[in-house]
Structure 1
Amino acid sequence: MSWLPILPLLGVWILVVMSPGPDFLIVLRHSAGGSRRSGVRVAAGVVTGIGVWAVAGLFGVTMLVQRFEWLYTAARVAGALFLVGFGVATIRAARKRSPQADDEPPAIAARRPGRLREWRAGLLTNLANPKALVFFGALFASLLPHHANLVMRAVTLGAMLAVAFAWFSAVAFLAGSPWITRGYGRLRKRLDLLTGGLFVGMGALLIPR
């Protein structure tokens, strides 16, 4: 199978997946505030969510959502509530954080959430944005060859997930560098307040007008 027909799609996907958003923030926060392994587990959750949206887009779920608009509206409201709730929880935790907690070794902080919870944090953060379904539907409709068979669709999906995991793993690796984790530790309260505010703002943008 030739890769040439799907190269334009992958080119667009690389630019999209590297753009900052909730997925980038959640991986960055867990890596800088915990460890590289923590960030990679969150990245795995994010990529799982991407896979869910991509599969839905590949098999025409977008058309179903467009037909029943209330499904999309309900998904947006649920996603907005999750992002806003996560942001508020982050802000509240930052305000209550004691100076001693900021000096806690990252390895201890990294063990607290648990592996499954870290993966789930990435998954839910990604699934909180139902606009991804519309994006994938439009991406596949415009750039995926119309003659693409099941094998080509599977290869395309696999390549997209590999790109996403490679990018977010790189973010986790860089953000988990000792000099970044030390800097994050010194400014953790302010950075968590900022991160929480960004999540609240992103959630507010999802609220249907």
Structure 2
Amino acid sequence: MSWLPLLPLLGVWILVVMSPGPDFLIVLRYSAGGSRRSGVRAAAGVVTGIGVWAVAGLFGVTVLVQRFEWLYTTARVAGALFLVAFGVATIRAARRQSPPAYSDTADSDTASADDAAPAAATPVNTHGPGRLREWRAGLLTNLANPKALVFFGALFASLLPHRTDLVMRAVTLGAMLAVAFAWFSAVAFLAGSPWITRGYRRLKKRLDLLTGGLFVGMGALLIPR
């Protein structure tokens, strides 16, 4: 099977993955407030979450969720609570005393004291646990939105050619994940530029308050009505 029938799907995916949302914000915050490496680790967590939703959508888990609506509702409530909790933790950390100044080295592995996922008040160290925390923050931010499962189910049902074999499905999934990682890594690289990090540090409190408010708002939108 040629790549030509898959181009519409990949085109839509590129537009979707580049649209601003919680994933973009978490990578931006870790990069501008910490380092490019921190942002890339958060990006890897985001892409891991995308992979989970994409595999579920590709193999028909959407049908199961539609049949048992309480599963979707439970996941949606849990995701909403996570985003709200993350936003509140970010706002609370921003309102406390400012942390010590960062180093001007763009690729420093030191993350800010309030850059952890919901328990954001704990300082992030530069060794394994801190790096895992950055990845986990990206993963949980992405998994917090179960609407992604519905999106992937609809995307594959409408744009993935029928009779696509397993190998081509795997190749398509790999291409989608590669696009996502390339985009979020580019965001991390640009946001980790010295002039952006310096600006972020000068306006850190206001920007963190804004970011926290956006996460709270996004979480509130996920709460079932």
TM-score when normalising by structure 2? 0.87
Mapped contact 1:79–1:203 kept (Cα < 8 A):
yes
| Residue ranges of structure 2 left out of the alignment (5+ in a row) | 102-113
What is the identity percentage for the equivalent residue pairs of Structure 1 and Structure 2?
A: 90
Task: Give the distance between the partners of 1:194 and 1:113, measured in 2 at CA.
Answer: 27
Task: Give the distance between the partners of 1:207 and 1:149, measured in 2 at CA.
Answer: 37
| Residue ranges of structure 1 left out of the alignment (5+ in a row) | none
> CA distance change for structure 1 residues 53 and 208 in 2, over 3 Å: closer, same or farther?
same
Mapped contact 1:83–1:200 kept (Cα < 8 A):
yes
What is the Cα deviation at residue 97 of structure 1?
A: 2.9
Mapped contact 1:34–1:107 kept (Cα < 8 A):
no
24-33 or 105-114: which moved more? Answer: 105-114
Task: Give the distance between the partners of 2:115 and 2:224, measured in 1 at CA.
Answer: 41
Correspondence for 2:207: 191
Mapped contact 1:97–1:189 kept (Cα < 8 A):
no
What is the Cα deviation at residue 65 of structure 1?
A: 0.1
Mapped contact 2:90–2:209 kept (Cα < 8 A):
yes
Correspondence for 1:153: 169
What is the Cα deviation at residue 205 of structure 1?
A: 0.2
Structure with bigger helix share is 1
> CA distance change for structure 1 residues 114 and 165 in 2, over 3 Å: closer, same or farther?
same
RMSD across aligned positions (CA): 3.5
> Greater RCO between the two (CA within 8 Å, min separation 6)?
1
What is the Cα deviation at residue 112 of structure 1?
A: 10
What is the Cα deviation at residue 98 of structure 1?
A: 2.4
TM-score when normalising by structure 1? 0.94
Mapped contact 1:88–1:196 kept (Cα < 8 A):
yes
* Aligned length, in residue pairs: 209
| Alignment deviations for residues 99-121 of structure 1 (CA, whole Å, 9 cap, x no partner) | 74599999999779710000000
What is the DSSP-based 3-state SS (H/G/I as helix, E as strand, rest coil) of the residue aligned with 2:100? helix
Task: Give the distance between the partners of 2:120 and 2:77, measured in 1 at CA.
Answer: 35
> CA distance change for structure 1 residues 185 and 141 in 2, over 3 Å: closer, same or farther?
same
77, 102, 117: which one pairs with 2:133?
117
